[in-house]
Structure 1
Amino acid sequence: MQVSAAIQSIIQQKLSEHFSAVRPVQFSGIGGESINETYRISFGAENVFCKLNSVSEFPQLFQKEKAGLELLAKQGILKTPAIIECFEQANSQVLVLEWIQPGEKTEGFWKKFGEQLATLHRISTDSFGLHEDNYMGSIPQSNRQHKTWVDFFAEERLKPMIGRCFHKKLLSKTHRQQFESVEKKLTEIFAEEKPSLLHGDLWNGNFMCNQNNEPVLIDPSVYFGHRSVDLAMTTLFGGFRQPFYEAYHHHFPLPKNHEQQWAVCNLYPLLIHLYLFGGGYLPQIENILRGFA
């Protein structure tokens, strides 16, 4: 997606208002995101981060991301990039955020991250879900509220993605039967806990370390769910160090069967990856399902 003259003009105006100065804007394309066009925008000595995408393909994608960032920021626990602007122009949607200059991920960083995530997970509410739906990456996800985690996870997470993958012939009838077996055991696997405020997509590409050695959350898929969702995602693609888990456990002790909970929670993101990227993710799913046969 090209940055149109109209969008450049709007961004120029918004940045002039935000920084109380009039300077030319310069766009530099950067990578790292699978569905968005991403840019570093230089505005004199200032830099900001910009995402572009299609309104028709992913309706309200950036509005939902903005709402998620605002909900996390409101808690005052973990940092998020400041939102500079979010708007639509013709069939384009644009999100402009504070530029985060990366710092070094020291042992102190990981301990702080674990402690802060544990504190975030103490934020609770009456139901599992959220007052509005959002996205997990490029996949719309329903946050219809339920009183129990087991009902929410089965109805709003597993079943919709199992259905999508089965329709796409990525899962067999045998796989569906295995998933049904897992669903019957959910009440045994997950002891009752209050809903936790989740980042929702906490893999190693969705946080940063700033120059003050502080964790910064990006690209959230927020809702109130079981805290094992976030912790499970940290293990799915690696990158998190042991001091993170030790600090988390110190401030919010993990249940004895947390590894079992994490395996089940990871079925959801693995199903999404299976749906988006194909059969390379099926062996991981099958390995988890075998563990609950």
Structure 2
Amino acid sequence: MQDFFQQALANIEDHSEIKKMERVSGGDINDAYFVQTNEQAYFIKVNQDVPRDFFEIEANGLQAIKDTKTIKVPEVYFYNQPEQDEKALLILEWIEKGSPNASSSKLLGEQLAKMHHPQKDKKFGAPHDTFVGEITQENGWYEDWLGYYKEKRLTPQLNLGIENGRIQAGRRKKLEKLINQLDKYIEAHPPVSLLHGDLWGGNWMADKNGTPYLIDPSLLYGDHAFELAFTELFGGFGNDFYTRYQDIFPLPPHYEEVKEIYQLFYLLVHLNIFGEGYGASVDRILDYYV
């Protein structure tokens, strides 16, 4: 692996010796490494048997967030587009991790709200497919958010669940019914915001100074309530985060009514990836709305 990293680092003109290389935590999908050369430290992700653009999509998402000049992301140094049987690799800036506190949580809320600032010249969706976990997330541009959420988010998860046997019988009927009456809950034309797309507690971090960083995006343009609903699903965001966010960009009055329908998408993803452990949560939401 060291030779592989050395060759990859040559693409960014770091020909210096690798002094240290060790495995670090980096999520369920990728192998992740801390690599220290004589010049600097890097965070390197590695995967295999993934699409050629797997890391390119992540790199583009990080760049899009960086371009908003609202919130920090790790610098992208290099990614490859591997041929079949080759390893995929992404080289990022190494961020020395600190302990999130009330100040960093508050700053995260402020900066995320600014990142979500409505963009009048954008449609809903994304220009290319992304990934949610290991699942390919098909995208496209839509004039209305309701159509996008129905056709590109809930319906594909329904179809995948039918295919893998995890959405059957009553669960299937209720989900189909909810999708068909989605216009009772979802706005067709909310403000269009740039969204991280996979913002749970593990996809943000604070550096040693408490400055928040976003990582591992699955970018799209959509309703900012969709993003905030997911932040509430698995925790990792303090009260200071939500208070400061609302100061900058208030959530719509119907947020509590629609929140669990937005969380349903992510629960369906987890059901389809990890199995029935998420089934009870899916059923609880379906029983409430249908």
User: What root-mean-square deviation, in Å, do the aligned CA atoms of Structure 1 and Structure 2 show?
Assistant: 1.7
8 Å Cα contact 2:203/2:215 also seen in 1: yes
Task: State the 1:172 CA deviation.
Answer: 1.2
1:185 and 1:129 map into 2 onto residues whose CA distance is 21
Give the match for residue 262 of structure 1: 259
The question of whether the paired residues in 2 share the 8 Å contact of 1:49 and 1:96 is answered with yes
**Alignment partner of 1:118: what SS?**
helix
% identical equivalent positions: 31
* Cα displacement (A) at 1:4: 6.5
State the match for 1:95 in structure 2: 90
Higher deviation after alignment, 26-35 or 234-243: 26-35
Is residue 65 from structure 1 mapped to residue 49 from structure 2 by the alignment? no
Q: Counterparts of 1:24-103 in structure 2 under 5 Å?
A: 24-44=18-38, 46-54=40-48, 56-90=49-83, 91-103=86-98
TM-score w.r.t. the length of structure 1 is: 0.92
Mapped to 1, the partners of 2:131 and 2:110 lie a distance apart of: 26
Q: What TM-score do you get using the length of structure 2 for normalisation?
A: 0.93
CA shift for structure 1 position 260 = 2.4
**Equivalent residue runs for 1:139-178 within 5 Å:** 139-178=135-174
- SS of residue paired to 2:173: helix
1:179 maps onto 2:175 in alignment: yes
How much has 1:89 moved relative to structure 2?
4.9
1:127 aligns with 123
Superposed CA offset, 1:192-241 (max 9, x none): 31221000000001011112321100000001011122111111111211
SS of corresponding position for 1:205: helix
In 1: Cα distance, 2:259 partner to 2:51 partner = 29
Q: Secondary structure, in 3 states, of the residue corresponding to 2:266?
A: helix
**Shift of the alpha carbon at 1:9?**
3.0
How far apart, in 2, do the equivalents of 1:107 and 1:200 lie? 24
Partner secondary structure for residue 155 of structure 1:
helix
Aligned to 2:225: 228
Structure 1: gaps of 5 or more residues = none
Q: Any conservation in 1 of the 2:122–2:221 contact (CA below 8 Å)?
A: no
Instruction: Tell me by how many angstroms 1:57 deviates.
Output: 3.1
Query: How far apart are the structure 2 equivalents of 1:252 and 1:185?
Result: 28
d(CA) in 2 for partners of 1:89, 1:239: 34
Q: Which runs of 5+ in 2 are unaligned?
A: none
Q: Post-superposition shift, 1:152?
A: 0.2
Residue 118 (1) aligns with residue 113 (2): yes
